[in-house]
Amino acid sequence: MAEDNRLNAGEIAAADFERGAADPVAGFPQQIEHAISNRLGPAEAQRMELAERSGLRVWLAPWYSSSHWYVDNRHEVKFEWDEKAGEQKFIRSMDLIRRIQKNPSGRLSGMVYPAQIDTCTEELLRASAAAATELGVSLTTHAAQSVMEFNLMVQRHGKTPIQWAHEIGFLGPSTILGHAIFVDEHSWLHWYSREDVKLLAESHTTVAHCPTVFSRYGQLLEDFGRYQRAGVNLAIGTDTVPHNILEEMRAAAVLSRVAAENVFTATTEDILTAATIGGARALLRKDIGALAPGMRADIVLVDLLSPSMRPTRDPLRSLVYAAADRAVKDVFVGGRQVVADRKVLTMNHDDACAGVEAAQIRMMEKVSKLDYAGRTIEQIAPLSLPH
C-alpha cells in the first residue's frame, strides 16, 4: 500500500475510534499502533502529524522484529531471520519514541513494540524490556495468540510462551500482551500445567483483549471473567475493523459468558472497567480512564433520547448491548471537542475512504504476483455472494 493510503487508513481508524469509542483514549493503544503508525520509514513525520491532528490520545508504537513469517506451501509457516536488521530497527524505534515524547500536544506517547514473541530473539526482547523501563513507557508484543505459536515456543524453549516471557523478565506492570488467548489451560491445547494466568496476574501484566477478530475464526479467550478473578489486568481493543470499542465491549461480555458457560462470569461493569481504567493502567497513566477531580477531561456524551437507548433504566446496559456508537453524540479529549452532534471534526472520513478504496484496487491487481501459488484475489478471498 502506498504511504498516502496508509495515512488514509489511519484517518479512517481515528474517525472510527472517535465516533465509536467508549473511552476517548481510543479504547486501547494496541489498535492505534496498527492503525496510524506501526512502521518505520520516511513518512514518520506525517504519521505523527496525523496522530496529533486526530485529537485523540495516541500511543505510537513502531514495531521491529528479528524475523518475519512467510509461506511457500499450504501447511507450514516459516521464518526468515535477520537479527542485525531487527537490532537496527530497534534503535531507530527508540529514537522515534524519544522524539514523540517531546511532542508539545501532550496527547502523543510512545510504546516499545517488539512485534511478536516468536519473531524476536531473547536478546531483542530483553533489550526492549530494558528500554521501556529506561524511557518510562509501556512495552507490548503479541504472545499466546495462536496454537501454532504455542507449539512452536514449546519446541524452542520447552515452555509455554507466557512461562518463557516470565523467565526472561519480559512480564511486568508496564507490559501489555496481545492477546494471551492460548495459555496453558486453554481447552484446545490439552496442556499439563496451569501456571500461565497466575504468572500474568502476579507480574501485573496487562492482557489486551480483542474479542471480535478472534471470534471470527472461532477462537475465544477462556474466559474474561476467569482472567479477571485471577487478578489479571484486562483492557479492551479492536485489532480489526470496525474500530468500535463499544461493539468490542459487547462482544467481550457475550463471548466470555459463552466460553465460561456461565452468564455471571463477567458483569457489564467489569467490561466498562477494562475499556477505561484497565487501559489507563496498562498505559501507566493515573490521570485518564475515569471522570473524577484532577483527571483529564476526556468525556463521551451519550444521547439518552436515542431510540436505541430507551427506556433508560440502565443506561450502561443499553449503551453496550443495544445502542453502541449510534447513541454517541459528542466526544471531548482533554477538554477539546473532537465529535460534535455525531460528526467527527478532526478527520475527513469520506476522502480517506476513497483513498483506501483506490489502494484496494491496486493491491488486488498485484495479488497473484505476490502469492506463493499465484492465486487470484477471487481464489484467496471469494466474494460472499459471487453470483
Per-domain residue ranges of the chain: 3-347, 351-380
Q: How many CB atoms lie within 10 A of CB 346?
A: 19
Share of the chain above pLDDT 70, in %: 92
The pLDDT of residue 48 is 86
CA-only gyration radius of the chain, Å: 21
The pLDDT of residue 31 is 37
Q: Scanning the structure block, which residue is given the C-alpha cell 461480555?
A: 253
Residue numbers in the chain where pLDDT is lower than 70: 1-5, 18-42
Q: Are 189 and 150 in contact (CB under 8 A)?
A: yes
Q: How many CB atoms lie within 10 A of CB 217?
A: 7
Q: Are 238 and 250 in contact (CB under 8 A)?
A: no
Measure the CA–CA gap between 223 and 219, rounded to whole angstroms. Answer: 11
- Helices 44-54 and 83-101: crossing angle, nearest 10°? 40
Measure the CA–CA gap between 32 and 107, rounded to whole angstroms. Answer: 13
Residue 312: all three cell numbers together: 433508560
The pLDDT of residue 41 is 60
Under DSSP, is residue 362 helix (H, G, I), strand (E, B) or coil? helix
The pLDDT of residue 19 is 66
Q: Are 280 and 245 in contact (CB under 8 A)?
A: no
Q: Are 119 and 65 in contact (CB under 8 A)?
A: yes
The pLDDT of residue 27 is 37
pTM score: 0.93
Average per-residue pLDDT in the chain?
91
Q: Which helix (DSSP H) or strand (DSSP E) does residue 110 occupy?
A: strand 108-110
The pLDDT of residue 2 is 60
The pLDDT of residue 20 is 62
In CATH, the number for domain 3-347 is 3.20.20.140
The pLDDT of residue 25 is 41
The pLDDT of residue 39 is 55
